[in-house]
Structure 1
Amino acid sequence: MIYELNHVGGPVRDLEASLAFYGGLGAEVVDRLFMAGPRVNRVHIQLVTGLVELLHREEPDPEATYGLNHIGFMTDDLDGDYARLTALGYAEISSPRVAGSGQGRLAFLSDPNGVRVELLQRSEQFRVAPITTGPARAFAHIAIAAPDRDAAIDFYGTHLGMERVADDTFRLGADALKLVPAPATPIAHLALATADPGPAAGDPDGNQVQFVPA
């Protein structure tokens, strides 16, 4: 069973610049690991309740693209959930395998609008109690591309078991996804609820962070 919206993540060009940007929003590092095989630093930061996974290669790849590129869900039955979703016709990206970190197993598939979805089965828990020392009062949502809104509703609401808490918003665990009709990228933006919302900001890799009323 899929039981938690766990994180949003992707590769970053400059890890220290990304950490400085999100640290200015109140994020704290809750997990840091070096994966020796691919020579990648994996860092989880937490914004209030939301986990963001930053992946940084030691050796730059000139062909690489940077920015948030997937959303991750926790499951207690990786093989069963992956088989169920791919049998329904959702596109396979990578079948269940041991994670590069050595922490549990993972698989990737595509939602009906091309958003990369990671399924994770592991015992490690990186999320800590809500972090409220920064300006954000809540991790409002992760906005994802959903030009085919009905298909996205079926995928997230019916097949992933997320609770529909608004017309375009689904929750599973502490955090929420918001469906956006036609953004420029699959991960449209992150939204933080603050007491004094200001203009949106772009992180060092061009990911958008929006601020909404708390």
Structure 2
Amino acid sequence: MIYELNHIGVMCQDLEKSVKFYKENFGAEVVFDYIVEGTPFHITYIQIAHGMLELVGIGDQAPKYGYEHVSFMSDSIDDDYQRLIGAGYASIQEPKKAMTGYGKIAFVADPNGVKVELIERESTFRIPTIEQGDIREFDHICLAVDDLEVSEQFYTQDISMDPLSRKYVEAYNVTFSHLHKGLENLELMHPGNPENEGDRILHIALRVDDVNAMAEKLKSNGVELDPGYPKAAAFGGGLTAKFSGPDGEKIELVDRKTLQEV
């Protein structure tokens, strides 16, 4: 059974730089750190509020940097993997021992080609929610999808996430579907005119008290906002701002209510 949305994986060129970025700007704490002997891999899990990122340091050897996978915990990885493959989803990696030596991992592709990791191990690496600092909540992970119904079926029926809401925003011609599993939320973003190219893991979103104030703090730390931000959020009121992390991964700020409230 799949019981937790655990983390989003990020491939990093300079792991030390990435860890520093998330610590200094968002109060992240390192909850796990492991160097895989005999390989270029250095794996560090960080937690922001209640959400986790797996930062994978690989130097100059990665074909692509930034977001790489979305990961779920399973209490029976062989059964869950076979169930997903039997349902017609593509295998990327059969269950095997994790590089860290902690438990087993497997990978499948979701209906849009997003790399979905399954993990079976004793520890989730999660610590109690970090409440101090500017980040009120790890709001969501956002995925771009072509067929919303098929994607919702995968994440609800096959991955056992619970639906929260579905909203069409006419101004953007986009439908947002929100799901959750435990503490974590997933946003499926379906544009009215979907494109089949580009990254499918679009961004993570962090909820703050005041987007303008947080944006000024980031700019003082040398972080450059994307053009046109801050601006009104697509739904739920408040503002949003977007910018890139050290490896091009997109990060969004919001100061609306929680997804459970909107």
TM range (shorter): over 0.9
Deviation at 1:197, TM superposition (A): 1.5
Structure 2 residue aligned with 1:5: 5
Percent sequence identity is: 38
Choose the corresponding residue for 2:206, options 171, 192, 197.
Answer: 192
Structure 2 residue aligned with 1:47: 48
Structure 2 residue aligned with 1:180: 189
Deviation at 1:38, TM superposition (A): 2.4
Distance in structure 2 (CA, Å) of the matches to 1:163 and 1:186: 21
Q: Secondary structure at the residue paired with 2:26? A: coil
TM-score by length of 1: 0.95
Q: Is the 8 A contact 1:49 1:138 kept in 2?
A: yes
Q: Is the 8 A contact 1:37 1:100 kept in 2?
A: no
Deviation at 1:126, TM superposition (A): 1.0
Structure 1 residue aligned with 2:235: none
Deviation at 1:60, TM superposition (A): 2.5
Q: Look up the equivalent residue of 1:195 and give its one-letter code.
A: D
Deviation larger for 94-103 or 18-27: 18-27
Pairs within 5 Å for 1:61-76: 61=61, 64-76=63-75
Structure 1 residue aligned with 2:144: 145
Distance in structure 1 (CA, Å) of the matches to 2:115 and 2:144: 11
Q: Is the 8 A contact 1:69 1:186 kept in 2?
A: no
Q: Is the 8 A contact 1:115 1:145 kept in 2?
A: no
Deviations 1:45-78 (A, max 9, x none): 0010001000012x532x6211111000000110
Structure with bigger RCO (C-alpha 8 Å, 6+ apart)? 1
5+ residue gaps, structure 2, are 167-176, 213-240, 258-262
Q: Which runs of 4+ in 1 moved over 3 A?
A: none
Structure 1 residue aligned with 2:228: none
5+ residue gaps, structure 1, are none
Structure 1 residue 171 corresponds to structure 2 residue 185? no
Distance in structure 2 (CA, Å) of the matches to 1:188 and 1:101: 27
Distance in structure 2 (CA, Å) of the matches to 1:125 and 1:163: 20
Q: Is the 8 A contact 1:44 1:52 kept in 2?
A: yes
Deviation at 1:124, TM superposition (A): 2.1
Distance in structure 2 (CA, Å) of the matches to 1:130 and 1:44: 15
Distance in structure 1 (CA, Å) of the matches to 2:147 and 2:131: 35
TM-score by length of 2: 0.78
Asked which structure has the greater CA Rg, the reply is 2
Structure 1 residue aligned with 2:247: 205
Distance in structure 2 (CA, Å) of the matches to 1:206 and 1:197: 21
